[in-house]
């Protein structure tokens, strides 16, 4: 079963295409017009999940010393997309771009430092780029203050960082704000506000927010109870095999008295970690 409390404050890795390519400093050996054409092609290949050709485009840009491409290449190696997963290579590419003060790469380095337990180094990097208003980095600062990672735990600061990142459009931060309001962590518990932020995050296709948004509809937290809407929110996730969505959707159907759908999803659930 999905444990919301355990993942109250999380962050994800983004493939940073147009925003990072255009909004952060990059030392590239090509013109802006040429780079824009490369990035447009790269985006199209990524959208089509044609990772081989996307990787090929990155290789060409890396040869031209482009920081955006180095950062993206690091992501490929970190996650094992098209290539064998290799964290050392990922760090190498992130570091090359980060050494040129390319903010998304500096964020990725700080993220890996934090994951590896090097909270002090992560915080140092994040503080250096805080003024750049890079939303994922600001959200990560919020996480550090929320969890007390190398800093004194400060839920008020965490909230302010999340709010700033959310205002910049970051779906993780929007979800984190929803969690703070849902659980009354650092703020007064307010289901209407938690619903608002879950909805905002879910609009950006953030799966954890969809799960919690569906729960809000199912339980009537901050919104009129509506089981059909709860089902609609997570149906695609369930069809795609998400164990938490499968676990929940079967209960939603059961509450409606739809035994056929309940039994269908109950069988599916028994094959996932959600029902173990």
Residue 48: CB atoms within 10 A of its CB come to 10
Domain boundaries, the chain: 32-116
32-116 folds as 1.25.40
| Confidence (pTM) | 0.86
Q: Hey, what are 200's tokens?
A: 């905002």
Greatest alpha-carbon span in the chain: 63
- Give the helix/strand (H/E) hosting 129: helix 119-129
Give me the tens of pLDDT residue by residue for the chain, a chain 276 residues long.
444 443 344 444 443 433 444 445 555 678 889 999 999 999 999 999 999 999 999 999 999 999 999 999 999 999 999 999 999 999 999 999 999 999 999 999 999 999 999 999 999 999 999 999 999 999 999 999 999 988 999 999 999 999 999 999 999 999 999 999 999 999 999 999 999 999 999 999 999 999 999 999 999 999 999 999 999 999 999 999 999 999 999 999 999 999 999 999 999 998 777 676
- SS3 string of 35-76? HHHHHHHHHHHHHCCCHHHHHHHHHHHHHCCCHHHHHHHHHH
């Amino acid at each position: 079963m999905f444990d919301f409390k355990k993942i109250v404050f999380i962050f994800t890795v983004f493939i940073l295409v147009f925003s990072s390519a255009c909004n952060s400093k990059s030392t590239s050996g090509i013109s802006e017009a040429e780079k824009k054409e490369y990035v447009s092609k790269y985006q199209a290949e990524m959208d089509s999940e044609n990772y081989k050709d996307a990787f090929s485009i990155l290789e060409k840009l890396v040869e031209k010393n482009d920081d955006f491409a180095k950062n993206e290449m690091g992501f490929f190696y970190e996650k094992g997309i098209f290539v064998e997963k290799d964290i050392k290579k990922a760090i190498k590419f992130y570091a090359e771009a980060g050494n040129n003060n390319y903010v998304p790469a500096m964020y990725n380095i700080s993220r890996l430092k934090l994951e590896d337990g090097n909270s002090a180094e992560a915080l140092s990097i994040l503080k250096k780029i805080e003024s750049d208003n890079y939303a994922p980095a600001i959200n990560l600062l919020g996480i550090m203050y929320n969890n007390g990672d190398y800093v004194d735990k400060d839920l008020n600061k965490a909230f302010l960082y999340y709010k700033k990142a959310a205002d910049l459009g970051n779906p993780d931060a929007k979800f984190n704000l929803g969690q703070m309001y849902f659980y009354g962590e650092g703020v007064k518990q307010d289901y209407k506000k938690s619903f608002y932020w879950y909805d905002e995050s879910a609009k950006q296709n953030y799966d954890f927010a969809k799960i919690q948004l569906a729960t809000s509809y199912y339980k009537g937290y901050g919104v009129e109870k509506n089981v059909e809407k709860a089902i609609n929110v997570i149906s695609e996730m369930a069809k795609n095999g998400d164990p938490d969505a499968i676990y929940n959707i079967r209960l939603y159907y059961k509450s409606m008295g739809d035994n056929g759908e309940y039994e269908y999803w109950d069988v599916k659930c028994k094959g996932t970690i959600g029902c173990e």
